[in-house]
Structures are given as C-alpha cells and as structure tokens.
C-alpha cells in the first residue's frame, strides 16, 4: 500500500489544506493519506482554535484517511525538533513519502540545500552560533548562516516559514535514514503570515483566526475560504463550547502562575534562557492582556513565537527536566481518527508497526503522555466547569473518530 504522510495543524482546516491533501495524494500516487496533527497546542506556542477532536473531524471529512497525534513535546518546538518528531511518527507508521507545502515548490531545491549544508556542516554551525550570539532570532540566524557559506546563487530562500520547515523535514528524513521520499507542493495565493482574508477562495489559517478572534467577526466572514464541513463544525463547536480557544482566555491563568511562582521555578521552565524568566515576571505585573504582554516582551533576539512558546511552557509547567532526555524518535503512535480505508490499513498492518499503537492514552504509561494530560488540562481553562470537565474527560477516554 502506497502511503503518503503530511504534517499539519489545521487551525482551522481551510481550502488550502484541502488542496494540499488532494494534491499530495496525486503527486505521490498514494492509496492512503496520513496526517500527523498537533494536539491542542501548536508549534508557534498558541492554543488551537478548536480541540484536536474537532480538527480531526474536519480532516477526515475532507480527504485525509488517518489522523495521528503529534505529541506536545514535539508539537510546541522550534522547526528542527517539530520536524524530527513528525518524521519519526510517519516512518514508524509505514509511510512511503512525505509531502509538504512550501513557498519554493521544488523538491530539488530542498535536496540540494540539505546536501550543501551537510558538506559544510562545521562552518555552517559556526556561523549559525555566531548569529545567535549577536542576538538574531533562530530563523534569521539560519538564513544568515546559509548566506555566508553559499558560493553561488541562493539555492533556497530560508526566510520563508514553510521553506524552513520543509528543509527540516528533508534533513530529518536523511538523518533518521527513513524509508520516506520527500515531495513538495507550492503554496498558492495566501501566505503563511497573511492577516487579512481576500475575496479569493484560499486564505491563511492566521488570517482566519485574526478575523474570528481579534476582529470579532462572525463565521460568515470566513465561509468562502473553508470547506462546508469545516464551517459547520466551527458553528457546532462555538454553540457547544460557547467560544473558540485563544491566548486571551488563558492569560489570567498564566499571570497567576507567574506571579505565584518563585524565580527559581520560572528559571527551570523549558526554554527559559538568559534571564528570560526575570523579564517575564517584570513585564507581566503591568500587562492587562496577552497581546500587551507579548508586545512588551518582544526583543530583537527573541521572536514572538519563541516567547509565546516560553509562556506556554510556563502555563503547562513543562520544565527543563521534563525535556532533559527528550528522545526524538517515536515512542508510540496515537490514532485520533480514521475512515474506512484507514481502518483497513490499521487492521492489516498494525502487527508490523514496531511501537505501541494506542487508541486512548489510558492504555499506556509514558512521560510524554503525562505532559499531554497537563497540556489538555490547561487547554480547558477559560471555559466553564462543565466544559472543562468534558474536555479533560475526552483526553482520557475519547476513542478514535471513525468515519
């Protein structure tokens, strides 16, 4: 069976995602599309608009055959660890290929870049560390280091977010000696960081969230850029849960956590570096919203995303000790949902998968799962007690969604 893997967040699932899933299947001639999807918190350190279960429903209704969870310990990391975790899960699940969206849209550029950097690894790492010490963010330092070692026209633009992720997917495939072959599809129309929705049928997930949360528009404002099932699912979610989740709803709990913790404890939070905990403590005292906090925290050295992840780890009490022995290989595979084609594959091939394949987290004890439970508890904050209880129960007992 020819299986194509894709790595996704679906926050929320929109027309561009539907195009990516269908084009990935065509490009790789796949029998099955498997999505590794972040759970309730995402790579940029923010809560998902709707729960992992709601996003799984959207994906299965729009052409994805199986949805697997990318655990919190991988999902909320910088691009390199995020990619390694996702690639390890897809490899363990038996995927033959990985297809990602990129600004470049040409897989040869990624292959040449990976080979080029491997040949110049020592020099490249030296330049990367120099740029980081000068106070540049990781994405900027990455692009600067590459620009210094290239001796011809630029192979790939590493200032673009999806190109950066794509490079790390390809790098992880070679590093892990995975059986997967990489493919890429060019992103069309909307770009990753676009904050406004055009009249066209494709918009970025960022612009959809901005429209619904910061601009306070109704769902009808995004109806033309999401599949009908996504629109219906968003309507149903808002009705049942009263609101979409976002950082402003969680900000009071973050502020309480910071102001009641010792500076020593904050210094032990994962990704706390160079006195970042002192700066957070000073700034949060006067901040009246998460937006205000982030605007005051941001510096040249640390990107909004980097600081947002630190805030998230503070909220979920994820410490350096939790991540001390982080193994970047897949420890288990959790199925969030599947259709009939996906179910058939799982039934036939589950004995060939070398890691535990779980349907609910109550069936396995693992440090990653303990962190996942804490993360879900924090995700439920901001809702009334009945909804909180529902979200927390789902984490323990919700079986895979079957379509």
Q: Could you tell me which residues are annotated as the binding site?
A: 7-20, 101, 162, 187
State the Rg of the chain over Cα: 20
Rounded distance between C-alpha atoms, residue 203 and residue 188, angstroms: 9
DSSP 30: -
Give the distance, in angstroms, between the CA of residue 256 and the centroid of all CA atoms in the same chain: 26
| H-assigned helices in 290-366 | 290-297, 304-315, 320-323, 340-349
- What CA–CA distance (Å, rounded) separates 115 from 93? 26
For CA atoms 270, 276, 282, 286, give the dihedral sign.
negative
Which residues are known binding-site members for ATP? 7-20, 101, 162, 187
Cβ atoms of residues 30 and 63 within 8 Å: no
> How big is the CA angle at 98 (ends 97 and 99), to the nearest 5 degrees?
120
DSSP H/E element including 182: strand 181-186
Q: For residues 378 and 39, give the distance between their C-alpha atoms in angstroms, rounded to a whole number.
A: 13
> Buried b / exposed e across 368-382, counting CB within 10 Å, b at 16+?
bbebbebbbebbbbb
Note whether 311 and 279 are within 8 A (CB). no
Q: How many CB atoms lie within 10 A of CB 150?
A: 16
Bridge partners of 36, per DSSP, are 7, 68
Q: Is 221 exposed, middle or buried (0-12, 13-18, 19+ CB in 10 A)?
A: middle
Q: Which residues contact 282 (CB under 8 A, 6 or more apart)?
A: none
Cβ atoms of 128 and 142 closer than 8 Å: yes
Residue with tokens 């990624």: 110
| Phi and psi at residue 4, to the nearest 5° | -105, 130
Determine the Cα–Cα distance for residues 286 and 130; give it in Å rounded to an integer. Answer: 34
Asked if 290 and 253 count as a contact pair (C-beta separation under 8 A), the reply is no
- CA 299, chain centre distance (Å): 23
């Amino acid at each position: 069976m020819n299986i194509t893997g894709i790595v996704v967040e679906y926050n929320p699932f929109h027309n561009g995602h539907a195009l990516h899933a269908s084009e990935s299947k065509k490009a790789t001639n796949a029998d099955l599309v498997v999505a590794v999807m972040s759970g309730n918190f995402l790579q940029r350190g923010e809560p998902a608009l709707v729960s992992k279960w709601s996003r799984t429903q959207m994906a299965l209704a729009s052409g994805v055959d199986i949805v697997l969870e990318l655990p919190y310990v991988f999902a909320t990391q910088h691009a390199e660890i995020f990619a390694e975790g996702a690639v390890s899960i897809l490899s363990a699940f038996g995927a033959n290929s990985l297809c990602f969206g990129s600004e470049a849209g040409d897989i040869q550029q990624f292959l040449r870049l990976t080979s080029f950097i491997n040949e110049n690894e020592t020099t490249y790492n030296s330049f990367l560390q120099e740029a980081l010490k000068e106070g540049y963010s990781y994405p900027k330092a990455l692009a600067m280091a590459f620009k210094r070692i290239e001796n011809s026209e630029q192979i790939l633009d590493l200032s673009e977010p999806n190109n950066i992720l794509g490079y790390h997917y390809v790098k992880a495939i070679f590093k892990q000696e995975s059986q997967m072959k990489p493919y890429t599809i060019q992103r069309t129309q909307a770009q990753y960081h676009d904050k406004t929705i055009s009249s066209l049928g494709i918009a970025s997930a960022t612009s959809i969230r901005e429209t619904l949360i910061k601009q306070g528009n109704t769902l009808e404002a995004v109806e033309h850029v999401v599949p009908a099932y996504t629109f219906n699912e968003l309507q149903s979610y808002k009705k049942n849960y009263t609101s979409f989740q976002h950082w402003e709803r969680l900000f009071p709990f973050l502020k309480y956590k910071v102001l009641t913790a010792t500076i020593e404890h904050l210094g032990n939070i994962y990704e706390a570096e160079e006195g970042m905990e002192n700066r957070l403590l000073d700034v949060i005292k006067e901040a009246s919203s998460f937006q205000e906090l982030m605007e005051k925290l941001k510096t040249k050295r640390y990107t909004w995303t980097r600081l947002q992840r630190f805030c998230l780890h503070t909220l979920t009490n994820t410490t350096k000790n939790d991540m001390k022995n982080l193994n970047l290989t897949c420890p288990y595979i959790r199925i969030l949902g599947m259709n009939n084609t996906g179910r058939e594959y799982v039934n036939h091939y589950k004995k060939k998968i070398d890691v535990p394949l779980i349907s609910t987290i109550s069936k396995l004890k693992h440090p990653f799962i303990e962190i996942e439970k804490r993360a879900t508890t924090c995700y439920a904050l901001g809702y009334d007690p009945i909804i909180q209880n529902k979200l927390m129960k789902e984490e323990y007992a919700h079986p895979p969604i079957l379509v």
